[in-house]
Amino acid sequence: MDLLGVGRLPFLSRRSYKNEFQHLLAWSVFAGVVEGQFASLVMARTFHGGDLLIALSTATPFAANLASLAWGFLCTGRPKIRLATRFAAGAVLCVGCIGAVPNTPGGAVCFLLQIAAAQALLAGVVTVRSAIWRSNYPVELRGQIAARLQSVRAIIAVVTVQTASALCDGDGNAYRYVFPIAAVFGVVGIRLLARIHIRGERSELRRVVTGSGATGTVRRLHLGAVLSPVRAIGEMIRVLRADRRFARYQVAQLFHGVSNLLTLPIIVLVVTRELPGGDRWGFWMSGGLIVGLPALMLLGTLSRWGRLFDSLGVLRFRVVNVSCWVVGLLLGMFGTLMAVGEHRSHPKYFLAAVVLFMCRGLLYGLAQAGGKLAWNLGHLHFAQADQAEIYMGIHVFLTGVRGVIAPLAGMLLWRTIGWPVWLIAIGFALASLTLYAMLAREERSRLGS
């Protein structure tokens, strides 16, 4: 019985798909408690962090992507799976040590630093994944294959996060064993990751050149150059100047990302502070509204998004996808209006807020499902064959830049102007929608002529 659907894939893609699928079965448990917003819930409800720490813990999954610019250039011309296993091992070590962190204000800072380090190393694994998908899966099926793999991650992530949330509700110190257990799964995932091979990598490595005057198809930077922010940013600017369409696509993604990131710490703050579910189930309820429902919707819609991605292409796909984000932002805004203010203790307003946040969670998950595919695959629409890691590194680095700034700006705006911060977020989303539509229209005109 072909439960994994391997037989429906091209012959040359089957082994890679099977190995990556098995790797994700274990790795997704680890990634579920490290990626995403579970860490911000732990910060809010276990460590009782203040607004600044909550905003920082919300931002770290995105801010960690700043490292991807270096990781992208580091991966170019080097064995990628070997690098990925080293990135993964460092992340597992950081997470395994969280069990020793004390539940004190100082411990909250240590927890934040360890999670941030783990997420920065995980960004290297994500960068390598781009090379795997580019080399091992055909472009006409890439969206559907990626959707299947992301579905596995979604299933395991939602089960992991909800289980971890229930454990944290029952025991305030549950994080001491939740994170080390996740690290054990991470070790298993690393062993399975090492079995994956990238097609054509050996011939690509033979074309690598390191001399300043040499010629070749791939240029490997020295480690010192890779880790130099000035050199890495200079290389990024050079690529963006050479590829104006990709640069405009990144501007659209900037507006799109800011619209989402402005509101993420606000959601955590409102749901954990303004919608108390009691000490016994508050963690579980907030985990369900912020993480669980979006993950379930993501799981249920990924395959449909995958087929749509393959049929529309990334630019038209983004137009449809961002439209869903706009509706989700509207629901979040109305939910916030119901949850804050003097009337919030009234049962009907509390119920309305919960229903609106549930609907927001479902729309967020729907949009996130499509967003995951476009985020992982969109840069391949612009990159040449030997530039996938560089384009991915640039794309993820810029995600990190807005990840550092936008959540902190969102929290500042929340404390300054309150709920109208949602209107600002909606404005950014509409601006990104306009840019995506313009790029899609220009591409149709160019291909039609």
Residues 306/141, Cβ–Cβ less than 8 Å: no
* 130-168: pLDDT as tens digits: 777 777 887 777 777 877 887 787 788 778 887 887 787
Residue 67: the pLDDT is 76
Query: Do 118 and 95 touch, CB atoms closer than 8 A?
Result: yes
Per-residue model confidence (pLDDT) at position 223: 59
pLDDT tens-place string over residues 328-357: 999 999 988 888 866 666 678 888 888 898
- Does residue 213 have a pLDDT over 50? no
Residue 188: what pLDDT? Answer: 95
Residue 112 has pLDDT above 80, yes or no: yes
Output phi, psi for 218, to 5 deg.
-130, 135
Q: Return the structure tokens found at 285.
A: 């309820």
* Res 251: pLDDT: 94
The model's pTM = 0.69
Q: What is the pLDDT of residues 391-426, one digit of tens each?
A: 877 887 888 888 888 888 998 999 899 889 999 999
Domain residue spans in the chain? 12-199+225-448
Whether domain 12-199+225-448 has CATH 1.20.1250.20: the reply is yes
Supply the DSSP string of 70-126, one letter for each residue: HHHHHHTTS-HHHHHHHHHHHHHHHHHGGGG--SSHHHHHHHHHHHHHHHHHHHHHH
In the 3-class helix/strand/coil scheme, how is 187-254 assigned residue by residue? HHHHHHHCCCCCCCHHHHHHCEECCCCCCCCEECCCHHHHCCHHHHHHHHHHHHHHCHHHHHHHHHHH
* DSSP class of 140: G
**pLDDT winner (highest mean) among 33-42, 308-317, 403-412, 416-425:** 416-425
Say what percent of the chain tops pLDDT 90.
22
List the beta bridge partners of residue 219.
209
